[in-house]
Amino acid sequence: MRNKRTRSLIRIVALAMMLAGVGSNRGVAALQAVVSPQPGTAAMPLPEFEVASIHREDSNRGEVNGLSNYPGGRIVARGCTLRYLIMVALDVQDHQISGGPAWIDEDKYAIQAKPPETSSASKLNPALEKSPPNLEQRQMLQSLLIDRFQLKFHRITKEGTVYLLTRGTKELKLKPPKDKNAFPWVGGLAGGWFAGGIRGQNISMPQLAARISRFVEHPVLDRTGLQGSYDFEDPTGNDNNDADIPGFLIGAMNEIGLKLESGKGPVEAIVIDRAEKPSAN
């Protein structure tokens, strides 16, 4: 009964917001998170994996965080911290997560999970193992974390720094990808993060914005209006300095015909209220 009343309240207030001209999907989602009586749970039941196993890995093995996506919707994660798994499940960046015990950044876990045959995820056939999970798979991962890690969280939206990625005034130096099946990637020309300049491979503008967001530690919103994926290269280096990564990226984007500038806007954040180490299985 309480959930029904809550959903009704959300619909009523959301309708009022829309009539006032301030409604949006993000605003309604934030409202739902505030009204929801149980942080970390959704108003409707989340889909679940049919079979899933989790075990802790030796943190000294040096494995890099990674999640692979296989045909049939099967998910395999290796050397992943709980923070990383939350980032994947909720489709957020590291800087958007706060709270939780210290071990969520220290303990590493391996996961193997398979969706039920009745799910749409079971029909997936990703071209690449590194293809990101779709919405249904992310929701299943949320269910798994809530169940096995006793994860509870809530969402907040606050005013903060955001960056806008738009078309610049210089010639656009984006080319059609040489390999449309290549893994979308952006990084340095000489190895390492942006060393010797910057290069992009088969990457779309939303993907580029998300990648940049990791380094400027603020949301980056794609406002380029450009569709499809691209290759690009800027060998100038733009005085790459770890202390001024935003400045470097602003210069690099300018060189390829894009513009990256900061401003103020709504910033969504995830606050972890509870997390417990899972039992071995």
Distance of CA 208 to the CA centre of its chain: 12
pTM of the model: 0.71
pLDDT score at 20: 37
Contact 130, 68 (CB under 8 A): yes
Number of Cβ atoms within 10 Å of the Cβ of 24: 12
pLDDT score at 187: 80
Mean pLDDT for each 10-residue chunk of the chain (281 residues)? 41 36 36 38 79 84 75 94 95 92 95 95 88 93 96 94 94 93 79 69 94 90 95 70 74 92 91 91 66
Contact 109, 55 (CB under 8 A): yes
- For residues 219 and 237, give the distance between their C-alpha atoms in angstroms, rounded to a whole number: 23
The string of pLDDT tens digits covering residues 59-94 is 655 555 789 999 999 999 999 999 999 999 999 989
pLDDT score at 243: 55
pLDDT score at 174: 95
Please enumerate in sequence order all residues whose Cβ is within 8 A of that of 73, keeping only pairs 6 or more positions apart, or say none.
114, 115, 119, 121, 122, 123, 124, 136, 137
Amino acid present at 190:
A
Q: Which of 43, 86, 42 is nearest to 65 (CA)?
A: 86
Contact 98, 272 (CB under 8 A): yes
